Every structure is written in C-alpha cells, then in structure tokens.
Amino acid sequence: MFLLLVLGVVIGVAYIYREIIVKGKKCTSKTKLHGKTVIVTGSNTGIGKTTAIDLAKRGARVILACRSKQRGEAALEEISRVSGSSQVVFMQLDLGSLKSVRSFAENFLKSEPRLDILINNAGVHMQGRTEDGLGLMFGVNHVGHFLLTNLLLERLKECGPSRVVNVSSTAHNFGKIDFDCLNTHKALGLGTSFMEVLQYYSDSKLCNVLFTHELAKRLQGTKVTCYSLHPGAINSELSRSQSSVLKFFLKPITVYFFKNTEQGCQTTLHCALQDGIEHLSGHYFSNCTVREVYDKAKDDAVAKKLWELSERLCGLA
C-alpha cells in the first residue's frame, strides 16, 4: 500500500512538472505581420521551423536562412503548406563561413526592401572549425550571427520599430569567456570530451547574452530593440551530433521532460512580437518572462571586449 502511495505521488509530481514547467507559458501576442519581413536562421528544423510557421501564419514574409539547400527547400515546401502562405522564401546561409554571411546579406539587401525582425536561432553543439578557422561553436553560434546582425542593422533601423532576437540558453549561466584562448586559437576551447564540449557550448551561449547586452547599448536612440532568451530544454535536432547510444538512453527522458518544438518556440515569439517590452531591450527572457542574469552576463567591460574581438575576427574593425 505504501509503495502504491509513493508511486502515485511520483507520477503526480511528474505530471504536474510536465504540465507546468515543461510545457511552460505560451506567447499570447495576437500581432499580425502583413507587410513585415522576418529572417529566421536555422529554420529548416527544430524550433526555428516552428517559429517560421507561426510567423508565416501571421502574414509575415519569412526568409528561411539555412545552410543546406536541400533541407532548406524541403522546409520551404512544408512551411508554405502548413501555414498556407506564399510569402516564404529560402535563402542559403552558412554561418560557419563569413563569406557566406556577407553574400547572404548582400543578396538580401538587394532583393528585399524591408527587414522588421531578425531571429538569430541557428546553433550547433559540436567541436570543429569553421571555414575561417574559428572554433565551430564560437563561429556559428556567435560570430556568424554577430556579423549578420551588423550587416543588416541599417535596414532594421530604416524599418523601425524592429527587433533582433538572439536564441541563447540557460546554459549561459555556466559559461565563461577565455579571451586568451580566443586570441590565441580563435576558439572557446580545444578539448573534445563530452564535458568540455558542453562547456564550450555554454560559453557560446554566454556570448549570445553578452552580445545582446552590448547591442542594446549601441542601439539606444534608434527604433531597434534586441532580446536574448532561453527556449527551454528542447527535444529537437540540436543533439543530432551525439552518439546513437546516448540518444537511445536519453530518449525516454527527453520525450517526457523536454519541450516539443512548438512549446520551445514560444519565448522566441514573445520576444519577437509582444507589445510593451521595448524598454527591456538587452534583457534575457525565459518562459515568456524577463529574467535577471548573473553579473558575468551583463558585464559592460567583457561585453565590449567581446564585441571588439568579434569585429576584428569578422573584418568589421
């Protein structure tokens, strides 16, 4: 009898946890986006794709900025079909190539007269090097988006009020910025163990929050605002680089205790669409709510130093 009672309590707690914590809040904005243009990076899969579907349903012209032409065009077909929109466009963007980022921005600025929302959603969780010799997670998760944002800022200013949304992670709380390693190796770290790679991922997510903090300061006096966010623990393809054995054992946990992609895109949508949060530019959100961050994630000196290093690495300085 006691065991049954304990089992009942465990099941009840797990159910409540899933319903309240895992599923989380929903974006309540009813904003329509007819005549507006949005870029979503990494929108061929995961929360990027569900974000794009929602924005397309709201009437936006949605630019799917993805590395793989094949997967991007397949996503274009699916998003157009599901949303019923004819205003979805695929444009190739490899964030691991500064040349590709510049080419994307040039093509976009030539062909599209507006940009109202830029959602820097794409991310990787694996070691390696970019085409330009940067650490893969530093290059894709931060530097590529840093360059993209800067190249498109004038268009965002012209179309204001407009927004930049940077998808970070609660993992940023465990991040650190090793400037000695960045200056010497152009990477957040050189290790390859599971824990080391997880650390560098956390470091790259801290870069996202610091970038947003510094960007907001530089955007003061304009009609462009910016936000970083934690989407939640997502059962998506970000972990596709993990071993099949690890994924097999984690699957029961991820299916029950992680958000699906629709639940996972809600805070992104909140930051992109919610009225009345303009005064919170530069802040960090989780579960559709603004959150306080540790001092290291709003350190003015570190944010400025990271900005200046990023400028040098991508040729903006």
Q: Are 165 and 92 in contact (CB under 8 A)?
A: no
**What is the spatial distance between Cα 258 and Cα 232, in angstroms, rounded to a whole number?**
8
Is it true that the peptide bond before 161 is cis, omega within 30 degrees of 0?
Answer: yes
In degrees and rounded to multiples of 5, residue 234 shows phi and psi of -110, 135
Let me know how long the chain is.
317
Catalytic residue among 200, 201, 227, 284: 201
Please report, as a single letter, which amino acid is at residue 170: T
Whether residue 201 lies in the annotated active site? yes
Enzyme catalytic residues: 201
